Structure 1
Amino acid sequence: MSPVTEKWGEVLRTHLALGEEGSPVRAAAAFSAEAGFFAVAGRGDEDGWPYFRSVAPDGEGADPDDVEALCTVCAEAVHPRGLRIAGTLWQRESREVISDVVTGSELELALLRDGDRAMWVVRAAQGVCTFVLVDGDSEAKVSEARSLALDFDSYLVGQGY
């Protein structure tokens, strides 16, 4: 199943409430080890790309090390040493395995931190991950973003990913 970027960008925006005022999510991305990024969205009109992909000085796109690391994350749990995304080293704070309510499939969920910033990474299936950047560091927003991330990944599982 090959995702269509425009469709998935809107699905990401809808499921993660990126168009709503006061959304706990700043930006989000869906990544496939096979296809690369197939959806990236920022809150409101904000461009979400800078949060998830380094831009090479010559403008040719992502740093290959970032993409390789993301492919590794999508194949296994986030490494305890952390993960470098768009030039930022995110440290893993927690990891848990959750059963999807509808399908019973296992979802891996990791909370990453960079100083006062937080990001959820959810692996729906081998090779497919969602990255959800929390807007702020209040525990309420972190918790609400977690719920939205799990909802989106349940949707992915329902779509066959």
Structure 2
Amino acid sequence: MSPVTEQWEDVLRTHFALGEELPAVRAAAVFSAESGFFAIAGCDGEDGRRYFRPAAETGEQLPHSGASDQACLEALWTAGEQAGPAPLVRLGEVVWRRESLEQVKDVVTGNELDLVLLREGDRSMWVVRTRQGLCIFALAYGDNEGHVAEARSFALDFDSFLVGQGY
């Protein structure tokens, strides 16, 4: 594991450690086109990798199945812009359906951010994509809509933190 990866995983773990007793975010990750998933952490010391790393091929063919992380994530932003069903994307061992795609402004920098809500059954995940090619993931803990809203805030706050660090 590179020193940069260890640093960012420590930062994510610190964010979890400073959180409340019943966390709203179960796992978080940061992805870049250059490094792939370079920081992943789960709350309470859980290994968050299983939520984000591609699963071994199961034979089931999905849009972008077997594609690289970058191609798979690019589908979140481009597929489904035309009429038709919401795009499906595989993260970890789960097939997620994009529920919404919106553009928001970063409160610190004023930069445009793409914000996607993914759903699978009673699970929700927010993904924020910056113009610098970074994606921040925040998996909500449980199906509580309050946790979903807090996971959204976590992803946007962590984006602001990364901007403050020069990313």
Bin for the TM-score computed over the shorter chain: 0.7 to 0.9
2:131 to 125, 133, 143: 125
Alignment correspondent of 2:54: 54
Alignment correspondent of 2:74: 72
Residue 55 of structure 1: how far off its partner (Å): 5.0
1:37 aligns with 2:34: no
In structure 2, relative to structure 1, the CA distance for the partners of 1:118 and 1:45 (3 Å cut) is same
Alignment correspondent of 1:112: 118
Residue 68 of structure 1: how far off its partner (Å): 3.7
Alignment correspondent of 1:157: 163
Instruction: Give the Cα–Cα distance (whole angstroms) in 2 for the partners of residues 37 and 156 of structure 1.
Output: 15
Work out whether residues 124 and 157 of structure 1, in 8 Å CA contact, stay in contact via their aligned partners in 2. Answer: no
Work out whether residues 16 and 44 of structure 2, in 8 Å CA contact, stay in contact via their aligned partners in 1. Answer: no
- AA matched with 1:23: P
In structure 2, relative to structure 1, the CA distance for the partners of 1:139 and 1:101 (3 Å cut) is same
Q: Tell me how many residue pairs correspond in the alignment.
A: 153
- AA matched with 1:11: V
Work out whether residues 16 and 148 of structure 1, in 8 Å CA contact, stay in contact via their aligned partners in 2. Answer: no
Work out whether residues 73 and 89 of structure 2, in 8 Å CA contact, stay in contact via their aligned partners in 1. Answer: no
1:103 aligns with 2:106: no
Equivalent position SS for 1:23: coil
- The TM-score normalised by the length of structure 1 is 0.82
Work out whether residues 19 and 44 of structure 1, in 8 Å CA contact, stay in contact via their aligned partners in 2. Answer: no
Work out whether residues 18 and 42 of structure 1, in 8 Å CA contact, stay in contact via their aligned partners in 2. Answer: no
Instruction: Give the Cα–Cα distance (whole angstroms) in 1 for the partners of residues 121 and 130 of structure 2.
Output: 26
Work out whether residues 54 and 85 of structure 1, in 8 Å CA contact, stay in contact via their aligned partners in 2. Answer: yes
Residue 124 of structure 1: how far off its partner (Å): 1.9
Residue 78 of structure 1: how far off its partner (Å): 6.0
Instruction: Give the Cα–Cα distance (whole angstroms) in 2 for the partners of residues 55 and 22 of structure 1.
Output: 28
In structure 2, relative to structure 1, the CA distance for the partners of 1:92 and 1:111 (3 Å cut) is same
In structure 2, relative to structure 1, the CA distance for the partners of 1:160 and 1:3 (3 Å cut) is farther
Residue 69 of structure 1: how far off its partner (Å): 3.1
Structure 1 gaps of 5+ residues are 58-62
Residue 101 of structure 1: how far off its partner (Å): 1.0
- The TM-score normalised by the length of structure 2 is 0.80
Greater CA drift, 11-20 or 44-53 = 11-20
In structure 2, relative to structure 1, the CA distance for the partners of 1:91 and 1:3 (3 Å cut) is farther
Alignment correspondent of 2:89: 83
